[in-house]
Amino acid sequence: MWSSAAVAVPLDVVVAGAGPAGLSAAAACAAAGLSTALVAPAVRPWPATYCLWADELDAAAGPLGLDPAAARTTMAARYSPTVVRTASGGERELTRGYARLRNDAVHAALLDRFTAAGGRLVTGRVRGLLDDDGGEVAVLADGTRLAARTVLDARGGGPATAQQRAWGEVVAGPVPDLVPPDGALFMDWTALAAPGAPPAFLYGLPLDDGTVLLEATSLAARPPLPLADLRERLAALLTAHGLRPAGGAERVAIPLDAAPRPAGPGTPLGAAAGLVHPATGYSVAASLRLGPRVAAALAAGRDPRPVVRAARPRATAALLGLGLEVLLPMDAAATDAFFGAFFTLPEQEWAPYLDGGSPPSAVAGTMARVFGALSPAQRARLLRGVAGGTAARLVAGLRRARAAASGR
Ligand SMILES: Cc1cc2nc3c(=O)[nH]c(=O)nc-3n(C[C@H](O)[C@H](O)[C@H](O)COP(=O)(O)OP(=O)(O)OC[C@H]3O[C@@H](n4cnc5c(N)ncnc54)[C@H](O)[C@@H]3O)c2cc1C
């Protein structure tokens, strides 16, 4: 670990923050031959359980310099089938594989790549960013100034009014009545359903030591659901199934509608750049994909900001934000019907909605198809639930999507 005082000369890149976005970008920048410093209060394997679609990891591994074979084996657990359960649509096995990062292995591989290429680790907290003489400066809490051509700001997402929340417990496995033994339970909207209770689904993954992680998840709520409510609902489910927590609870709180960082010095990355998907809370795949693209732009002497903007096209972000507003007022039955309909679509029709980098036409197309797959009563309820302005924007957006799809 280098001290901040050791970095005296201007660098090509300073990366603030060592989450998935910061570390992957720092490793890619160093490997591209850019003199790079990574500043964070601590650089250690990420504690959260990070998942993504298996094909997303395969696509990200090569550009990140991860051994593709290791990315398929030691660096991630792969799950098949990926199961969705709703009261309205029954149980569905998705053909798309799901994966959980083995954080120790991925983190070590990225950090090795970073340090092997001469990257410098700086322990500290960035207090502010400045423009300076054609470059940028990260000012640390202890007053140290790190000057660079570009500062990448990956310090995480800001506050939000809507959040995804989850309470997770690890139990002895397997628990085949809840989670398929080698598979992932992506969403079960039936397991935690209770009269009058806000929507929450069960998420479940077998872990490497034979235990199973079960999480009671509120996909999106404004104000966020209290974690204690989710803990209680999960506890009731565990009791009903004769299961006991085996230690290692996971608490999840993901800001879903954080305002974009105001323009200024530094290029935001990851959650700081608004890459968190407003309706799923996911950003890890998008960040792993983005790091090498940003590094390539910087190595070619280009401004990285357009590359970051392209990772979340503005019109796509607007549609996904609208999708979040549609979800928020839904009660448990409407949410169940929505996801029952969503996952009746073929994978190539629902997958674009879950990727914030998709073109807006693809996202609008998914929205229109889900709307079309709902019963007339469910459609009416969905439109009644959303505020007038949102409903009008939704209907207009769907009309535009239909017109675009039919070539008019
Ligand atoms: C428990 C949990 C589970 C999640 N699971 C998933 C999942 O399965 N899939 C998925 O896609 N998303 C998931 N998310 C959501 C999201 O993808 C993560 O929050 C992800 O960590 C965001 O990555 P990031 O690198 O942008 O920011 P962060 O991971 O928040 O990293 C920010 C970094 O900046 C550092 N930092 C903060 N302030 C400063 C400062 N002033 N100076 C220097 N460094 C600073 C922090 O120490 C940290 O290293 C989950 C979130 C949580 C909380």
Whether 191 is in the pocket of ligand 1, judged by its Cβ within 6 Å, is no
Q: How far is CA 95 from CA 43, 184, 223, in A?
A: 36, 12, 34
Same domain, 250 and 264: no
Same domain, 303 and 186: no
Same domain, 137 and 264: yes
Does the structure show a pLDDT above 50 at 122?
yes
How many domains does one find in the chain? 3
Share of the chain above pLDDT 70, in %: 92
Angle at 14 between CA 145 and CA 51, to 5 degrees: 135
Amino acid identity of residue 14, one-letter, is V
Whether 151 is in the pocket of ligand 1, judged by its Cβ within 6 Å, is no
Residue 248 or 189, more confident: 189
239 C-alpha to ligand 1 centroid (Å): 32
Whether 110 is in the pocket of ligand 1, judged by its Cβ within 6 Å, is no
Helices 360-373, 332-342: inter-axial angle, 10-degree rounding: 110
177 C-alpha to ligand 1 centroid (Å): 32
343 C-alpha to ligand 1 centroid (Å): 28
- Taking only the tens place, the pLDDT of each residue in 349-391 is 999 999 999 999 999 999 999 988 888 888 887 777 666 666 6
Which of these three, 218, 238, 255, is where a domain ends? Answer: 255
Whether 204 is in the pocket of ligand 1, judged by its Cβ within 6 Å, is no
Average pLDDT over residues 395-402: 64
Q: Is residue 85 part of a domain?
A: no
Q: Is residue 319 part of a domain?
A: yes
Reduce the DSSP state of residue 91 to 3 states and report it.
strand
CATH number of the CATH domain containing 206: 3.30.70
Q: What CA–CA distance (Å, rounded) separates 339 from 90?
A: 11
Provide the mean pLDDT of the chain: 92
Same domain, 276 and 143: yes
Instruction: Please give the distance of CA 284 from its chain centroid, rounded to a whole number.
Output: 5
Does the structure show a pLDDT above 50 at 151?
yes
Whether 255 is in the pocket of ligand 1, judged by its Cβ within 6 Å, is no
- Taking only the tens place, the pLDDT of each residue in 306-335 is 999 999 999 999 999 999 999 999 999 999
Which of these three, 311, 330, 350, is where a domain ends? Answer: 311
pLDDT value for 261? 79
Does the structure show a pLDDT above 90 at 251?
yes
pLDDT confidence tier of residue 408, bands split at 50, 70 and 90: very low
**Closest ligand 1 atom to the C-alpha of 270?**
26
Same domain, 227 and 274: no
Which of these three, 255, 283, 300, is where a domain ends? Answer: 255
Q: Is residue 269 part of a domain?
A: yes
Q: Is residue 61 part of a domain?
A: no
Q: Is residue 90 part of a domain?
A: no
Average pLDDT over residues 269-285: 96
Same domain, 118 and 176: no
Does the structure show a pLDDT above 80 at 1?
no
Same domain, 325 and 340: yes
Does the structure show a pLDDT above 80 at 406?
no
Whether 41 is in the pocket of ligand 1, judged by its Cβ within 6 Å, is yes
Does the structure show a pLDDT above 80 at 221?
yes
Average pLDDT over residues 279-284: 96
Residue to mutate (ligand 1; options 185, 250, 283; most atoms within 8 A of CB): 283
Q: Is residue 365 part of a domain?
A: yes
Same domain, 168 and 224: yes
Same domain, 145 and 30: yes
Q: Is residue 87 part of a domain?
A: no
Look at residues 186, 216, 160, 185 and name the one whose alpha carbon lies nearest to residue 351.
186
Same domain, 324 and 298: no
Does the structure show a pLDDT above 90 at 211?
yes
Its domain, for residue 323, covers 314-405
- Taking only the tens place, the pLDDT of each residue in 104-116 is 999 999 999 999 9
pLDDT confidence tier of residue 228, bands split at 50, 70 and 90: very high
* Residue closest by Cα to atom 5 of ligand 1: 50
Same domain, 272 and 328: no
Q: Is residue 306 part of a domain?
A: yes
Q: How many CB atoms lie within 10 A of CB 250?
A: 15
CATH number of the CATH domain containing 125: 3.50.50.60
pLDDT confidence tier of residue 192, bands split at 50, 70 and 90: very high
pLDDT value for 6? 44
Same domain, 249 and 237: yes
DSSP notation for 196-222: TPPP-EEEEEE-TTSEEEEEEEEEEES
pLDDT value for 399? 66
pLDDT confidence tier of residue 402, bands split at 50, 70 and 90: low
Average pLDDT over residues 81-110: 97
Would residue 65 be called left, alpha or beta, if left means φ above 0 and alpha means ψ between -120 and 50 degrees?
left
Q: What CA–CA distance (Å, rounded) separates 395 from 274?
A: 25
